[in-house]
Structure 1
């Protein structure tokens, strides 16, 4: 980690804030206004570039109607900050925070049938394998 790299915990908390904000359908501008900061400051919080103080994190949790502890769930421990698994988890988290990831997750959780969900996973894996083979 270089001097300019965000702390992994700050990045994690920021990404969880972003995920909850997006799930709530709240724009960065609207959250910033409610917090009394600019949307650029919200962006910095979400990227982990600027740390979120405890009081500000509580304010965000209240605005998004979640518990503060939600922002720390799955946070990397010191031991897990090194290794390939962290990169893989980071890639998954990065995707889930895109608009497509949020849309996909929202639609997927609405499917009640486990069998249908399994078929969608199988389809996605097949499409990914074909893409890897250069057939897609």
Structure 2
């Protein structure tokens, strides 16, 4: 049976990998494992060891704490955070990736526009 923390960590790995535009194969090569193992991590089928999580955090250029963001002390998603299903929504992830590809000054203006439109 999958542990909720393993599932959460796997989703965070997939989310970050997708945000930086990296394939499972590319991540696996950087970490020194087969891409099938990355698939198992991302679905929560296999637990990620501490040393492997360290390698993955370096390959994805995030602190290890990134993989645990959004978890309560009980290992459940904290209410008020991004819904879990958004991490599996390719359109939402593509939108975020495209947003961060925009130069920062234009990105701030786009963000302000989105904020104004969402208040209307």
TM-score relative to the length of structure 2: 0.76
Give the RMSD, CA atoms, in angstroms. 2.7
**Is the CA contact (8 Å cut-off) linking 2:31 and 2:56 kept in structure 1?**
yes
Whose Rg is larger?
1
* Structure-1 residue corresponding to 2:95: 104
Alignment of 1:1-136 (within 5 A): 4=1, 6-78=2-74, 81=76, 92-108=83-99, 111-113=107-109, 114-121=111-118
Provide the rounded CA distance (Å) in 1 between the counterparts of 2:67 and 2:89.
18
**Is the CA contact (8 Å cut-off) linking 1:24 and 1:64 kept in structure 2?**
yes
Higher relative contact order (CA 8 A, sep 6+): 2
Provide the rounded CA distance (Å) in 1 between the counterparts of 2:112 and 2:99.
12
Provide the rounded CA distance (Å) in 2 between the counterparts of 1:121 and 1:108.
17
Aligned residues: 114
**Is the CA contact (8 Å cut-off) linking 1:13 and 1:75 kept in structure 2?**
no
Q: Give the direction of change, closer, same or farther, for the CA distance of 1:122–1:96 in structure 2 (3 Å limit).
A: farther
Provide the rounded CA distance (Å) in 1 between the counterparts of 2:43 and 2:113.
35
Provide the rounded CA distance (Å) in 2 between the counterparts of 1:8 and 1:100.
24
Provide the rounded CA distance (Å) in 2 between the counterparts of 1:115 and 1:39.
39
**Is the CA contact (8 Å cut-off) linking 1:23 and 1:102 kept in structure 2?**
yes
Provide the rounded CA distance (Å) in 1 between the counterparts of 2:76 and 2:40.
21
